[in-house]
Amino acid sequence: MKTNPIEIVDRGRGLQLSTSRITVQDLVPYFQEGCSPDEIIRWIPTLTHEEIAVVERYYLDHKKELDSEDRRIRERNAQRKNPPWVEKILEESRSERLARMTRQRDGNPNGSPGEGNSRGC
């Protein structure tokens, strides 16, 4: 039976495996930290030992460029944040969730009488 060779290809989203959507840059941090193939598979269980070996060979052959690109990716990701209006929605949803859970724990899912903005008597 003929099997497809495992290669490094460019499908317009950065260099990746021909057999998987995992990119070379997905694995660069693991190689930098000296992770074993089994450790990598623990976190990315769809990968095979053969696929990891192909990417690792490519990494070792192009280490300088890939480490440099990794630094750019980390800098880019560190700067990417949600816009303030999104963060406001997230804060509101957290407040609502905590209030809902407090009511459920207290056994009153509809809220206590007079709950809301009123300070009561």
Partner 1 sequence: MKGILADVNVQGYVDYLVAILRAEPWRLFWDDLKISYLHFSDVGLDAKSPDTLVWESCQQRELVLITANRNQDDPESLEATIRARNTANSLPVLTIGDIQYLRHSRDYATRVIEKLLDTLDGIEALRGTGRLYLP
Interface residues with partner 1 (CB under 8 A)?
A: 11-14, 17-23, 25-26, 28-29, 33, 42-46, 73, 77-78, 80-82, 86, 89-94, 96-97, 100-101, 104
Residue nearer to partner 1 on the CB measure, 8 or 22: 22
- The pair phi, psi for residue 10, each rounded to 5°, is -115, 110
Residue nearer to partner 1 on the CB measure, 60 or 73: 73
Q: C-beta of 65: minimal distance to partner 1 in Å?
A: 13
- For residue 26, the SS3 value is helix
* Nearest of 78, 69, 80 to residue 26 by alpha carbon: 69
Distance CA 11, CA 8 (A): 10
